[in-house]
Structure 1
Amino acid sequence: MSEPKHRIRARYDDATVTVYQAYSPALGLPAAAAGRFPPAWKRDRMTWVKPSFLWMMYRCGWAAKEGQQTVLAVRISRGGFEWALENACLSGYERGLHTDRASWQRELRRAPARVQWDPERNLRLQPLPHRALQLGLVGEAVRRYADEWITEIDDVTPLARRIRALLSEGRDDAARELLPKERPYDYRAAHLLL
């Protein structure tokens, strides 16, 4: 069965969805310890969450990039996740989906969430033909994320480093076994190319 180009894949259960973010240790470690973001976390800017562990590893270089050395697995309510999707706008203009560029720009300015589709990554962080979801939260969505949706924050940096070490040893099968188990997330929304 071929993989559709746009599909949300995530680790989830009946109540929560896990998304990933990477921060400096000064922000990430206190967040994991408290289960909430510390006061230094900026609520007035867009924050991007990623349901794909491997896309996060690509983005943060297996927790090695400056300012992204702490990888967090943030469990949020499914209701919150779906609210963000329902209130999201695509981050880029799509001819045929949007009436015109000006109406898309108006929608983008009003939307509290953005959806961006980037190439999913394999274990070696090479691009795949299908896309992984990135969800950008701003304004009301950032507040809801920080204050209402988060149920747990775990520091998964040791996991990222262990997988990277196994890969450097050529032990791909052992590394693959450690990956979080992600599966298709059943959500349909024409305005997000789903």
Structure 2
Amino acid sequence: MKIEIENYESSLLHLPNAGKQIIGHEQLDEIVVYQAYNNSIANYTVANQKLGGSKFSYERMSWIKPNFLWMMFRCGWAEKENQERVLALWMKKSFLEKILSEAVPSTYKPHLYKDIKDWQRDLKQKEVRLQWDPDHSPYGGKPERRAIQLGLKGEMLEQFGQQEITLIEDVTDFVKEQHEYVKSRQLNHLMIPVERTTYINDAKTRNRIGISKENEEN
């Protein structure tokens, strides 16, 4: 596994306690995002190193999440139906910044749009949806910090799934191993990917997507 890992309790020393933050695993100019799929899609995706297969549709929106524990909450540690396989998808951070520059919030933000119709027009025309959700602890608790997830569709999804992924790793075995420590309440043994606050270079993008001000220094 290319992903570097660290003890969960140690990781808390490096992360902000609150605010809207992009938390992710970075190495050099690459960043990891997570998705969970059924066996059919996961097998094709890992074998071909691109999103696809007979059960994958580029006609639907597909969501990516850079935060490991948020993904674990969403897929139930790879135990929810059709989310039995967890994939780590590596891409250039520059492409994440492109995605963010096109992101439209999933709920209306008066400070960004002159009216609701303007926002609705953006929702229809642009191909990236943005949501800030409560981050999660290993047991599903919600800290004050928010976690980001991004929905991709259309040409943006095709570009991501077919061209921009540099590596796809199946991390399901790692997920299941760590889930045992969660179930047995041994958080001192729980390991997670090394994740830190991800700095977004473009100030306009940072302000538009709502990253908390304390996250504006690298």
Give the match for residue 23 of structure 1: 37
Check whether the contact 2:45–2:53 (CA below 8 A) recurs between aligned residues: no
Q: Residue 179 of structure 1: SS of its match in structure 2?
A: strand
* Match 2:24 to one of 3, 10, 25: 10
- Pick which of 166-175 and 131-140 moved more: 166-175
Give the match for residue 192 of structure 2: 179
Give the match for residue 118 of structure 1: 133
- Structure 2 portions without partners, runs of 5+: 1-14, 212-218
- Structure 1 portions without partners, runs of 5+: none
Give the match for residue 158 of structure 1: 173
Aligned-pair distance for 1:61? 0.4
- Pick which of 145-154 and 34-43 moved more: 34-43
Aligned-pair distance for 1:32? 1.7
Check whether the contact 1:74–1:150 (CA below 8 A) recurs between aligned residues: yes
Distance in 1, matches of 2:182 and 2:77, equals 11
Q: Residue 135 of structure 2: SS of its match in structure 1?
A: strand
Compute the TM-score of the two structures, normalised by the length of structure 1.
Answer: 0.94
Aligned-pair distance for 1:4? 4.3
Distance in 2, matches of 1:156 and 1:115, equals 25
Distance in 2, matches of 1:66 and 1:73, equals 19
Give the match for residue 66 of structure 1: 81
Check whether the contact 1:118–1:133 (CA below 8 A) recurs between aligned residues: yes
Check whether the contact 2:87–2:170 (CA below 8 A) recurs between aligned residues: yes
Identical aligned residues as a percent = 32
| Alignment root-mean-square deviation, CA | 1.4
Letter in 2 for 1:35: Q
Q: Residue 173 of structure 1: SS of its match in structure 2?
A: coil
Give the match for residue 140 of structure 1: 155
Aligned residues between the structures: 192
**Following superposition of structure 1 onto structure 2, how do residues 40-79 of structure 1 map, counting pairs within 5 Å?**
40=54, 41-79=56-94
